[in-house]
Amino acid sequence: MDLTLSQIIDGYLLAANARRLSPHTIADYQTTFNKLTAFLQTDPLFNSIHKSDLERFLAAQPVSKKTLLNYHTGLSALWTWAYDEALATRHLPRSIERPRPEQRAIAPFTQADIKALLGALRYSETYRNHGATASNALQNHDRNRAIILLLLDTGLRADELCSARIQDCNLKNQWLRVFGKGSKERIIPICARTAQTLWKYLASRPDARPEDPLFITLNDTPLDRHRLLKQLNLIGKRAGVSDTHPHRFRHTFAINFLRNGGDIYSLQMILGHSTLDMTKKYLQIAQADIHSAHRLASPVSNWRL
């Protein structure tokens, strides 16, 4: 069959939904496909698209290298499906070198950062009211405390936290069932303090059903990743803590897990990493801490032997 680009995209999206890819992944791919369609300005036959068309498309995108890599990944998913279905004569993205994103430094929260965030949950920023300083009591402070402690205690991804259901949370035995990338299920332990905080938040929702989202908005709608990021940014602004986003909690959990004696294999399972290589970046930071501590505490150095 000689199908157009739009027909191939429609077929792929049906297949992606049938495979239960996450809505976030499908939305990202759809964005890439829309950008490619707009760039080409036509709806060409899929097999008439050349490697140079994709190279020009990628080169024309005014985005970071990380976002460019996401575009390349979306195109690869489309061509892989079409090639496997014998709808594409060539797998064009395989012949295009993957963009290499910048290696950004991992900057975890400090203990002082976390205490400042938790201290900024109950009241709004102060403002002047008829010459006096005032602030407003905030709703959802129990929910937001539970979110912060859960992120810090588990290293959950934003999508994993937002997709969790009440029935996935076992407070008595202190664990949370999570469906990560590729819908892979894993059981993550939580500490007693996190479980207690979740219990307090859920106690404010007496009519909630087991299948309801674990976290909801004030309008009783599911909390999505965009609202989560916005809420954390607002809390960070009130607390004076910059870069307050879900993935930074993930970094903070991973590094402190290793600093406090956790092993890298357990960390890999908790984080849901498919390979140990993805987890080793945290081990390198933790080992650097060990070397620094040794320089300060070595008896040979301190006793001046």
Contact 186, 178 (CB under 8 A): yes
196 to each of 79, 122, 149, 187, 284, how far by Cα in Å? 48, 18, 10, 18, 33
Task: Give residues with Cβ within 8 angstroms of 131, minimum separation 6.
Answer: none
Lowest mean pLDDT among 4-13, 156-165, 254-263: 254-263
Question: Residue 280: what pLDDT?
Answer: 84
Q: What is the DSSP letter of 304?
A: T
The catalytic position among 35, 177, 186, 247 is 247
**Gap between the Cα atoms of 141 and 115, Å rounded:** 14
Q: Tell me the sheet residues that pair with 222.
A: 216
194 to each of 251, 257, 280, how far by Cα in Å? 18, 15, 26
The catalytic position among 157, 201, 238, 248 is 157
Whether 250 is catalytic: yes
pLDDT value at 184 more than 90: no
Question: Residue 100: what pLDDT?
Answer: 83
The catalytic position among 12, 71, 201, 282 is 282
Say how many C-beta atoms besides its own lie within 10 A of residue 59's C-beta: 8
**Gap between the Cα atoms of 174 and 184, Å rounded:** 20
Name the pTM for this structure. Answer: 0.72
Task: Give residues with Cβ within 8 angstroms of 222, minimum separation 6.
Answer: 162, 213, 215, 216
Task: Give residues with Cβ within 8 angstroms of 203, minimum separation 6.
Answer: none
Whether 65 is catalytic: no
Domains of the chain: 5-95 (1.10.150.130), 111-124+135-296 (1.10.443.10)
For residue 200 the two structure tokens come to 């307090």
Whether 157 is catalytic: yes
**95-148 pLDDT per residue, tens:** 999 888 766 667 889 999 999 999 999 888 777 777 777 678 888 999 999 999
Residue written as tokens 């050349």? 50
Listing DSSP states for 201-251 in one string gives HHHT-TT--TTSBSSB-TTSPBPPHHHHHHHHHHHHHHHT-SS--HHHHHH
Mean pLDDT, residues 260-287? 85
14 to each of 11, 17, 19, 33, 296, how far by Cα in Å? 5, 5, 9, 14, 59
**194-224 pLDDT per residue, tens:** 999 999 999 999 999 999 999 999 999 999 9
Whether 19 is catalytic: no
49 to each of 52, 73, 76, how far by Cα in Å? 8, 17, 14
Nearest to 16 by CA among 84, 90, 77: 77
**9-67 pLDDT per residue, tens:** 999 999 999 988 888 889 999 999 999 999 999 999 999 999 999 999 999 999 988 89
Q: Please state, rounded to an integer, the average pLDDT across all residues of the chain.
A: 90
The catalytic position among 165, 177, 181, 251 is 181
**Gap between the Cα atoms of 75 and 82, Å rounded:** 11
**217-226 pLDDT per residue, tens:** 999 999 999 9
Residue type present at position 188: I
